[in-house]
């Protein structure tokens, strides 16, 4: 049986499995007996990448079929500082899994920065998970957060941009309709602060991610980068979601509806 490698983001871990991505995503979200459920987000990793940090030599002896011939579903190889030690060039497709196990695959594309000056809301996922308001576009935000010259930084980062609607340009007067975020007044205060003090490029809205990402709030996609590399995984348009990915989108719309 073929062996796959995955970088799970929730939580951060390197996992070997005999399940291909869609089957792995379903298993990771709901298990084998469908008695649990939870969102999953992961990258497929190039199985040929080399590393002295991870125990890749253990895969051959640990990731083997069960005695009854069933595939080995998951073997954890690392649960600490995984992204930091993975070459970003080894990342393949990104997979977004709803809490009932439906899987959406996204390919990386070249990122084109928006020309309009506006405010942004980012949900970091790995290796840290605060929610950050910023006046920096995704590329500049990534460079800022991974800059070791800053008092606080990370070597690499995975994050997504969330919708702000009218707050992105007018955080004082714009309505917050259809923005299902907690502490919305605090979010507005953070955005106003960024507008009034542009010399400070970020403000923390929530210190850590305490619930799943609501896929319906994703603005443009997911990003992963460092000081030297930057990759963009675009979220499908509403037309694509309603046409090509209807079952996944329907599940995503009901996920965490009481958030």
User: What is the residue extent of each domain of the chain?
Assistant: 4-106, 120-236
* Interval 130-143 mean pLDDT: 97
6 conformational bin, left if phi > 0, alpha if psi -120 to 50, beta if neither:
beta
Nearest to 98, CA basis, from 233, 216, 1: 216
d(CA 199, CA 104): 38
Nearest to 107 by CA among 94, 119, 126, 121: 94
pLDDT score, position 259: 38
Which two three-digit tokens encode residue 230? 């930057």
Angle (CA) 40 215 6, round 5°: 25
List Cβ neighbours of 40 (8 Å cut-off, separation of 6 or more): 8, 10, 25, 28, 29, 95, 97
Q: Are 241 and 249 in contact (CB under 8 A)?
A: yes
Supply the pTM of this predicted model.
0.94
φ, ψ for residue 138, nearest 5 deg: -55, -45
| Total number of residues shown for the chain | 259
The pLDDT score that the predictor gives to residue 248 is 98
State how far the Cα of 168 lies from the Cα of 176, in Å rounded to an integer: 11
pLDDT surpassing 60 at residue 256 = no
For the segment 45-68, the average pLDDT, to the nearest whole number, is: 94
Q: Is 192 helix (H, G, I), strand (E, B) or coil?
A: helix
pLDDT of 235 strictly over 70 = yes
Please list, in sequence order, all residues whose beta carbon lies within 8 angstroms of the beta carbon of residue 246, skipping any fewer than 6 positions away: none
Whether the per-residue pLDDT at 237 is higher than 90: the answer is: yes
Lowest mean pLDDT among 68-82, 110-124, 184-198, 233-247: 110-124
pLDDT 10s digits, 59-80? 999 999 999 999 999 999 999 9
Cβ–Cβ < 8 Å for 103, 97: yes
Residue 35 has a pLDDT of 56
- What integer is the mean pLDDT of 198-223? 93
Residues 196, 208: Cα–Cα separation, whole Å:
25
């Amino acid at each position: 049986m073929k062996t796959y490698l995955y970088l799970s983001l929730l939580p951060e871990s390197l996992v070997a499995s005999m399940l291909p991505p869609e089957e792995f995503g379903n298993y990771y979200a709901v298990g084998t007996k469908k008695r649990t459920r939870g969102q999953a987000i992961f990258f497929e990793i190039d199985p040929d990448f080399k590393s002295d940090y991870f125990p890749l030599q253990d895969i051959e002896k640990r990731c083997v079929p069960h005695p009854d011939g069933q595939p080995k579903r998951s073997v954890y190889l690392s649960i600490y500082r995984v992204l930091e030690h993975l070459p970003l060039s080894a990342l393949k497709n990104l997979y977004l899994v709803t809490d009932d196990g439906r899987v959406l695959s996204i390919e990386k594309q070249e990122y084109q920065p928006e020309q309009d000056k506006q405010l942004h809301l980012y949900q970091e996922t790995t290796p840290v998970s605060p929610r950050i308001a910023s006046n920096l576009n995704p590329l500049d935000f990534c460079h800022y957060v991974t800059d070791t010259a800053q008092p606080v930084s990370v070597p690499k980062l995975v994050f997504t941009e969330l919708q702000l609607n009218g707050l992105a340009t007018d955080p004082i007067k714009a309505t917050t309709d259809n923005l299902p975020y907690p502490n919305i007044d605090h979010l507005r205060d953070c955005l106003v602060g960024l507008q009034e003090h542009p010399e400070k490029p970020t403000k923390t809205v929530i210190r850590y991610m305490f619930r799943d990402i609501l896929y319906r709030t994703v603005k443009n996609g997911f990003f992963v980068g460092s000081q030297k590399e930057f990759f963009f995984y675009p979220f499908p348009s509403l037309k694509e979601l309603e046409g090509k990915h209807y079952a996944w989108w329907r599940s995503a719309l009901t996920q965490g509806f009481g958030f």
